[in-house]
Structure 1
Amino acid sequence: MRRPNTPTTRRLIGLAVAAAACPLTGQAQETAAAQAGSLPAVEVVGTTPVPGIEVPKDQIPSNVQTADDLHLRRAQSLNLPDFMSTQLPSVNVNEIQGNPFQVDVNYRGFSASPVLGTPQGLSVYQDGVRINEPFGDVVNWDLIPKAAISSITLLPGSNPLFGLNTLGGALSLQTKRGDTHPGTELELQAGSFGRVSTELTHGRKLAEGGHLFLALGGLNEDGWRNYSPSRVRQLFAKVGQDSGRLSWDLSFTHGDNRMVGNGLLPESMLMQNRKQVYTRPDRTDNRMSMLTLNASYRLSDVQTISMTAYTRRSRYSTLNGDLNDDFNPPDNEATGVENRTYTRQRSEGVALQSTYTAGIHQLTFGASVDRARTHFRQTESEGLLDSTRAVVPQEEAEVDALLAGKSRTASIYFSDLVSLRPNLQLSLSGRYNDTRVSTRDDGRTLLGLSTQLDGEGRYKKLNPAIGLTWQATPRLTAYAGWSQGSRAPSPIELGCSDPANACVLPNALQSDPPLKQVVSQTFETGLRGTLESGMRWNASVFRTVNKDDLLFVSSGLSRGYFSNFGRTLRQGVELGLSQQTDRLDWSLSYSYLRARYDSPACLVAEANSSAETSPACTGEGEIAVRRGDRLPGLPAHSLKFNVDWRVTPDWTLGAQYRVYSRQTVRGNENGLHTPDGADFSGSGRIGGYALLDLTTRWKLGRNLELFAKVANVFNRRYATAGQLGRNGFDASGAVAAPDAWRNAQFVAPGAPRAVWIGMRVQLGV
Structure 2
Amino acid sequence: MRVRLSNKTTKHHLIGLAVAAAACPTQAQEQAAPAATLATVEVVGAMPVPGTDVPKDQMPSNVQTADDAQFRRAQSLNLPDFMATQLPSVSVNEIQGNPYQLDVNYRGFTASPLLGTPQGLSVYQDGVRINEPFGDVVNWDLIPKAAIANITLLPGSNPLFGLNTLGGALSLQTKRGDTHPGTELELQAGSFGRVSTELTHGRKLGEDGHLFLALGGLNEDGWRDHSPSRVRQLFAKVGQDRGKLSWDLSFTHGDNKLVGNGLLPESMLLQNREQVYTRPDRTTNRMSMLTLNASYQVSDQQTISMTAYTRHSRYSTLNGDLNDGFDSADNGNAGVENRTKTRQQGEGLALQSTFTAGIHRFTFGASVDRARTRFTQTEAEGFLDPTRAVVPQEEAEVDALLAGKSRTASIYFHDLVTLRPDLQLTLSGRYNDTRVTTRDEGRALLGLSTTLDGEGRYRKFNPAAGLTWQATPRLTAYGGWSQGNRAPSPIELGCSDPLNPCVLPNALQSDPPLRQVVSQTFETGLRGTFDPGLRWNASVFRTVNKDDLLFVSSGLSRGYFSNFGRTLRQGVELGVGQQTKELDWSLSYSYLRARYDSPACLVSESNSSAETSPACTGEGEIAVRRGDRLPGLPAHQLKFNVDWRVTSAWSVGAQYRAYSRQTVRGNENGAHVPDGLDFNGSGHLGGYALLDLTTSWKMNRRVELFAKVANVFNRRYASAGQLGRNGFDASGAVLPPDAWRNEQFVAPGAPRAVWLGMRMQLGA
Do they fold alike, i.e. is TM over 0.5?
A: yes
Compute the displacement of 1:507 (Å): 3.1
What is the CA–CA distance in structure 2 between the aligned matches of 1:36 and 1:472, rounded to whole Å? 25
Compute the displacement of 1:733 (Å): 1.3
What is the CA–CA distance in structure 2 between the aligned matches of 1:36 and 1:613, rounded to whole Å? 75
Is structure 2 residue 397 aligned with structure 1 residue 364? no
CA deviation vs aligned residue, 1:394-429 (integer Å, no higher than 9, x gap): 000000100000000000000000000000000000
Number of paired residues? Answer: 731
What is the CA–CA distance in structure 2 between the aligned matches of 1:645 and 1:329, rounded to whole Å? 61
What is the CA–CA distance in structure 1 between the aligned matches of 2:164 and 2:637, rounded to whole Å? 25
Residue matched to 2:55:
56
What amino acid does structure 1 have at the position aligned with 2:252? Answer: T
Compute the displacement of 1:532 (Å): 1.8
2:378, 2:506 within 8 Å by CA — same for their partners in 1? no
Compute the displacement of 1:36 (Å): 10
Compute the displacement of 1:328 (Å): 1.1
Identity between Structure 1 and Structure 2 (%): 86
Residue matched to 1:198:
197
Residue matched to 2:580:
581
Matches within 5 A, 1:718-733: 718-733=717-732
- Specify the SS of the correspondent of 2:160: helix
CA deviation vs aligned residue, 1:332-369 (integer Å, no higher than 9, x gap): 61000000000000000000000010010000000000
Matches within 5 A, 1:232-631: 232-331=231-330, 333-631=332-630
- Specify the SS of the correspondent of 2:40: coil
Runs of 5+ unmatched residues, structure 2 = 1-33
1:326, 1:332 within 8 Å by CA — same for their partners in 2? no
What amino acid does structure 1 have at the position aligned with 2:151? Answer: I
What amino acid does structure 1 have at the position aligned with 2:340? Answer: T
2:339, 2:506 within 8 Å by CA — same for their partners in 1? no
What amino acid does structure 1 have at the position aligned with 2:342? Answer: T
What amino acid does structure 1 have at the position aligned with 2:187? Answer: L
2:338, 2:506 within 8 Å by CA — same for their partners in 1? no
What is the CA–CA distance in structure 1 between the aligned matches of 2:731 and 2:467, rounded to whole Å? 62
What amino acid does structure 2 have at the position aligned with 1:425? Answer: Q
Write out the 4+ residue segments of structure 1 that deviate beyond 4 Å after TM superposition: 35-39
Compute the displacement of 1:705 (Å): 0.2
Compute the displacement of 1:207 (Å): 1.1
What is the CA–CA distance in structure 2 between the aligned matches of 1:37 and 1:222, rounded to whole Å? 57
- Specify the SS of the correspondent of 2:708: strand
CA deviation vs aligned residue, 1:371-405 (integer Å, no higher than 9, x gap): 00000000000000010000000000000100000
RMSD between superposed Cα atoms in Å: 0.9
- Specify the SS of the correspondent of 2:646: strand
Compute the displacement of 1:39 (Å): 5.7
What amino acid does structure 2 have at the position aligned with 1:417? Answer: L
1:39, 1:474 within 8 Å by CA — same for their partners in 2? no
What amino acid does structure 1 have at the position aligned with 2:168? Answer: G
- Specify the SS of the correspondent of 1:330: helix
What amino acid does structure 2 have at the position aligned with 1:507? Answer: N
What amino acid does structure 1 have at the position aligned with 2:485? Answer: S
What is the CA–CA distance in structure 2 between the aligned matches of 1:175 and 1:89, rounded to whole Å? 23
CA deviation vs aligned residue, 1:435-474 (integer Å, no higher than 9, x gap): 0000000011111111010000000000000000000000
TM-score, length-normalised on structure 2?
A: 0.95
What is the CA–CA distance in structure 1 between the aligned matches of 2:273 and 2:347, rounded to whole Å? 44
Matches within 5 A, 1:626-637: 626-637=625-636
Runs of 5+ unmatched residues, structure 1 = 1-34
What is the CA–CA distance in structure 2 between the aligned matches of 1:755 and 1:764, rounded to whole Å? 30
Compute the displacement of 1:37 (Å): 6.9
TM-score, length-normalised on structure 1?
A: 0.95
Compute the displacement of 1:41 (Å): 1.1
Is structure 2 residue 696 aligned with structure 1 residue 694? no
What amino acid does structure 1 have at the position aligned with 2:440? Answer: D
1:189, 1:196 within 8 Å by CA — same for their partners in 2? yes
2:268, 2:729 within 8 Å by CA — same for their partners in 1? no
What is the CA–CA distance in structure 2 between the aligned matches of 1:307 and 1:607, rounded to whole Å? 52
What is the CA–CA distance in structure 1 between the aligned matches of 2:329 and 2:310, rounded to whole Å? 53
What amino acid does structure 2 have at the position aligned with 1:238? Answer: K
Residue matched to 1:72:
71
2:632, 2:664 within 8 Å by CA — same for their partners in 1? yes
What is the CA–CA distance in structure 2 between the aligned matches of 1:718 and 1:46, rounded to whole Å? 37
What is the CA–CA distance in structure 1 between the aligned matches of 2:541 and 2:307, rounded to whole Å? 32
Residue matched to 1:13:
none
What is the CA–CA distance in structure 2 between the aligned matches of 1:647 and 1:309, rounded to whole Å? 46
What amino acid does structure 2 have at the position aligned with 1:173? Answer: L
What amino acid does structure 1 have at the position aligned with 2:587? Answer: L
Compute the displacement of 1:38 (Å): 5.8
Residue matched to 1:651:
650
Residue matched to 1:189:
188
Compute the displacement of 1:734 (Å): 1.0
What amino acid does structure 1 have at the position aligned with 2:451? Answer: Q
What is the CA–CA distance in structure 1 between the aligned matches of 2:192 and 2:535, rounded to whole Å? 38
Is structure 2 residue 741 aligned with structure 1 residue 742? yes
2:504, 2:558 within 8 Å by CA — same for their partners in 1? yes
- Specify the SS of the correspondent of 2:356: strand
